[in-house]
Structure formats: structure tokens, C-alpha cells
Amino acid sequence: MFRPTGRRTRAPITAVAGLLAAVTLVLAPAGAAQATWVRDAEWWLDSYGFTEAWNVTQGEGVLVAVIDSGIADVPDLAGAVVGGADFSGVGSADGRTPVGVQLNHGTMVASVLAGRGTGNGILGTAPQAQLLSASIGFGGVSEISPDDQVAAALRWSVDQGATVINMSITRNTLDWPPSWDEAMLYAFEHDVVVVAASGNRANGTDEVGAPATMPGVLGVGGFDRNGDASWDASTQGITIGVAAPSEDLIGINRFGEPQNWAGSSGAAPIVSGLVALVRAAHPELDAANVIQRVLATATPVGSSPSPLYGYGRINAAAAVSADVPTVTENPMGSLEEWIRLNRRAEPTVAPTAHPTSTPAALPLGRLMWPPWGYFAERYAIPSLFVLAFGSLIALGITAVTRRVRGRRRDGRP
């Protein structure tokens, strides 16, 4: 099933009905807060190089699609959302009405990614990037298959011109449906960077789930305020590309209020904002090299890559400004090659080609005396059986004929 990549604390964790789930860990609302308090709570902005990177760019001109529960109209995102659509069939046409079982999820993801510093004062990691809201329904709220919703949302996001797509959701399975093959390839063919949350152990996800397992996707793991891999608010797997903060986070809920939260749902938009900064600072780079800059400038933790941190903890300032050698292939792998190896069709017998000057061999049934050939073809009786049966009858007739002739020659009746 799909899950938000998050959990509630001090409360039982229950499975979400349906296929998709967001990946968020949500705490109690923070209540009324001053803008300075909210800004001070965003510890990752200074600690991981974002405020320094903003001296170069704040993500101007980059369009990021957020495939989630929908982005509500809140003051902290004033002017940030420039388009939207609903794929659940139960939301509003503009994708701005939250749907599903975690109604705050999409708005909180968006605020961490592109909060404008207005309202409560939250600043996203790319505070000048523009957003698209693609709302999908978690938890069985829609009659449309969540897999189909996601595939359609991916294609729509690409068609609207998004160059970054954030997916703070997990399927809770390593695999994914073939419809995602086509939709994700469509994104990659249009040079889009897709960022996906790894999932959370607290939500019952022991290892990375799709879409973060898909080759070519930038999977994001999480760590706590001390820089240690988060146990509850992340997971592990070889498809994690980098790690970002996933605990002691703050976002804006659908009511426009600050809310504490945790989970790889929050780590993913932090990285999506970083990707937007790189795309704005280096518009000449293709998606593979944008991802390469994020990976190459990350701070390694132990052996690199690792199943907990990927290539390391993000470093936004270095990702925007450092000298990084270019690559010719996506460092997160090739989905096209994976499909070639793993989606092989059942072998079929191809028609045999014949030169036009040489007639093809006739079916065996047609080579026999016409009645046998007719029965073989008309009633689908195996030709060899018909031939054998016909031969026995012919031998019998021959034997009787010889016996009759012998009697006549001997003068016997």
C-alpha cells in the first residue's frame, strides 16, 4: 500500500487502507508562533548550507511538481503555487483541496520546499521556486487505483513543464507496476529530476519502497539533529542517494498553522528544494548532472554509498558552487536498462519468412489423399495420426484385395 512517509508519535501506528500512503511523521500542532520562532526552528537551513547557497540563487524560475495530498491555499505559500490538478476524482480541479487520510501532508511538504517567509515566516529550501499541486488520494478514498493516479500525475507534471518532481510517498514494496515504467521514463526523457522519500520504519517500512527503488530516481533517507541516521523517521536500502534532515522538522498545515513533524516525507522536499537550487544555478546541466552535483558534494558517512546515508548528508552550498566533473549517465541508474532486463515479454514464435519466389511447404494433411487431409484440417485432428490411421486402412484394403484375387485365381469362392 502507499503510505505517507511519516508517523504520529505517542500514538499507535495503524496501517492506511489503499495502495499509496504518504510518508510523514506528524506531531501535535505547534500552536500560535512568531515568524522568528518558526524560522529559528528550521535548523537545517543554516546547518546544511542553504542560507549560504541563497547567495547564489533561491530557485527562481524552477518549476517543481508536488505529487501528494494537495497543497492548501495558505499565507506561507502565497504566490508559490502556479498550477494544479486532481487525480483522485474526489478533490478540486486545481489540486488545491487536500484529499486522503493525511490532509495536511501535501501542504507541509510544499512549505518545507518553497515556503515564502510570509505568514508564519517559514522559508523553504528553495523559497523562490514555483510549485504545481498534483493531488492524489491516499487510504482508499478514491475509486481510481492509486497506481493509476500516480502514473497520470507524473505525466501531467511533465507536460506542465516541471523540471523537478517531489514524491513524498512510498508504495511499501520494492517493486512497482508497469504503468510507472512508462510514466517515469516519460519524465526522464524530458530531463526531469524525480525525488522520492525512502519511507519510515515507524510506519512499518523496513526497507526502501517504490518509487524510491526505481532506477534513476533520487531516493532520500533521513537523519536526526545530530546527523545520525533516523531509526523511526527513515529506512535503509541501496537505492538511497543522499540523506537529509527528517526529525525535529516544522511545516505549515492546511489551516496555515505551524506544525512539528518528522519523517522522510520532510527529507524529500528539503532535497527537492536543493535540486531546484542546482537547476537554477546551473541551467546548462541535464538531470543526470544535477543529480551528480547533489551526490558528489554530499558529506560521506562511513563507506560511501551506504544503505543509510547513500552518498552522504547533503551540502547545499557545495552543490550550488563546487566544481564537479560531469557525467554522461544518471548516477542513480537506468530505468530503461532495468526494464529491458526485468520486463521481458513471454517468448513468441515469429512467422518464418519465405522468399517470394519459393512456395512455402504445404501442411502435411494436404499431402495425403484429399479425404484424409480434409478431416485433418477440418476437425483439427493431428496430421500424423490421420496419416497413420489412413495407412492402416490402406494396408488392410490391400491385404483384402490380394486375398480376394488369390481365391479367384485358385477357383475358390
Low-confidence ranges of the chain (pLDDT < 70): 1-34, 345-413
Q: CA 364, 367, 372, 374 torsion: positive or negative?
A: positive
Q: Catalytic annotation on 105?
A: yes
- 142: annotated active-site residue: no
In the block, cell 566533473 appears at: 325
Using CA atoms, how far residue 398 sits from 365, 371, 402, 406, 411, in Å, is: 22, 18, 6, 12, 20
Cell output for 407:
481365391
Q: Domain extents for the chain?
A: 3-342, 364-409
What is the rounded CA–CA span in Å between residue 395 and residue 202?
Answer: 81
Neighbours of 24 (CB within 10 A): 34
The pLDDT value recorded for residue 4 is 53
With both helix axes pointing from N to C terminus, report the angle between 383-409 and 370-378 in degrees, rounded to the nearest 10.
150
Q: Please classify residue 259 by burial: count the beta carbons closer than 10 Å to its beta carbon, then call 0-12 exposed, 13-18 middle and 19+ buried.
A: buried
Residue 120's pLDDT is: 95
**pLDDT (tens digit, 9 = 90+) per residue, 3-14?**
555 443 322 222
* Cell numbers placing 107: 501542504
Q: Give the model's pLDDT for residue 304.
A: 84
Q: Which of 68, 76, 147, 232 is catalytic?
A: 68
d(CA 21, CA 6): 9
- Catalytic position from the list 157, 265, 306, 383: 265
What is the value of pTM for the model shown? 0.79
Question: With helix as H, strand as E and coil as C, how does the chain read?
Answer: CCEECCCECCCCCCCCCCCCEECCEEEEECCCCCHHHHHHHCHHHHHCCHHHHCCCCCCCCCEEEEEECCCCCCHHHCCCEEEEEECCCCCCCCCCCCCCCCCCHHHHHHHHHHCECCCCCCECCCCCCEEEEEECCCCCCCCCCHHHHHHHHHHHHHHCCCCEEEECEECCCCCCCHHHHHHHHHHHHCCCEEEEECCCHHHCCCECCCCCCCCCCEEEEEECCCCCECCCCCCECCCEEEEEECCCEEEECCCCCEEEEECHHHHHHHHHHHHHHHHHHCCCCCHHHHHHHHHHCCECCCCCCECCCECCECCHHHHHHCCCCCCCCCCCCCHHHHHHHHCCCCCCCCCCCCCCCCCCCCCHHHHCCHHHHHHHHHCCCCHHHHHHHHHHHHHHHHHHHHHHHHHHHCCCC
Indicate the CATH number for domain 3-342.
3.40.50.200
Amino acid (one-letter) located at 79: G
Instruction: Please identify which of the residues 69, 76, 88, 105 carries the catalytic annotation.
Output: 105
- Which residue reads 500514538 in cell numbers? 11
Residue 115: predicted pLDDT: 98
Q: Side-chain half-sphere of 308: how many Cα atoms within 13 Å?
A: 13
Cβ atoms of 244 and 223 within 8 Å: the answer is yes
